[in-house]
Structure 1
């Protein structure tokens, strides 16, 4: 079964909580982010591919239509969620998946999500985990004042904290030091491809090879040729998402 990944953006936390409660047991939907601040939501969408958005119409200093127009991909399948029925006609005219009125009933929400499921299966190919064609990047401060170094997500093998400094380790074997925090790098990295395996350590799953003797083994290009890298592994209680990933990759 396909599992569609989506986000909820609504400036009312109570509305988000209501939807989260209704979808928590659905096998074909995974909410990977919720935002009461639409700017934070836009930043997340810039680096995290999603299959759909559940979006409030009236947002602080903007609305759903302007918000979608500002995205790099304004055609992300969207379910509008609003307290005002005046937006129903416009929502349907613009071919949104559905327009839901607050407070939405469980049956009405499930109907919209089933319609989403049908449309995504028919129109969108299921993509793999490859970052090869993903051309997004971020920048870090270089060793020279005012210099900026571009880091392509597909070239970042892992990042870790060493003696209070954050290091980014690239596929060509080089490493970059940055004054940024580990929390900040976790905000930037696409959650679909980057996994935190221990405190202060996050890796690109496209380089994942396995777990051996309590360590995470990666395959990556190092200076001098192909070789393996090993990273520390935290415990199952502290890093449940990592262990779910490991378990899903064992035959």
Structure 2
């Protein structure tokens, strides 16, 4: 089995990757930077969304290139991590959540174009991704078990909302998201979820809460220095959870999420 790993802010290098070989891959959607190696005894292909030094802001991440490069590298699944702001007072900074639903109605890439791999009229395989819930349940279960094994409690389920960055959200925007049941927000994972679904690669998302989003807990807002501290701490915690998760991913029964209505 080969697993794709995507990390975001605070996790720019995946530690303890044996025989890691970094390289650039040219896709029809641009260049992706991958590291191939072994992590926790599993064959992995690793992507840092923002690149070391946070070179790419959320509005500059190359989502289509990253997902196509991982698919072409032959990954059987993608496990991704995002740091996020909590919209639920019972989900405090430092908490983990394994999401089970998505709010991303704009379905847009950072440049404003539609989030899809099907941008060429008449191309083979063009079509619609049809699903109930967007995340792979076997991958979700592996993340939940892996987190517990690594000594961390993780919330089982919750709706993730993708919002466009790089600015953070206003209180009014967040109140609207709370009304529809969103539990946490960040600025990067929405396109990955959609593109992985179109590519037929099962995907799961682990959230690391770094702050209460704007106005969610007005009596105890998260100071910027605390947010920065948790960003720094997230790298080690994420690595621990991933190391416990990857060996638990079941190779049997792991398949694409939903179905694709396509025209060839």
TM norm structure 1:
0.32
TM norm structure 2:
0.31
Answer with 1 or 2: which has the greater Rg.
1
Higher RCO, 1 or 2 (CA under 8 Å, sep at least 6)? Answer: 2
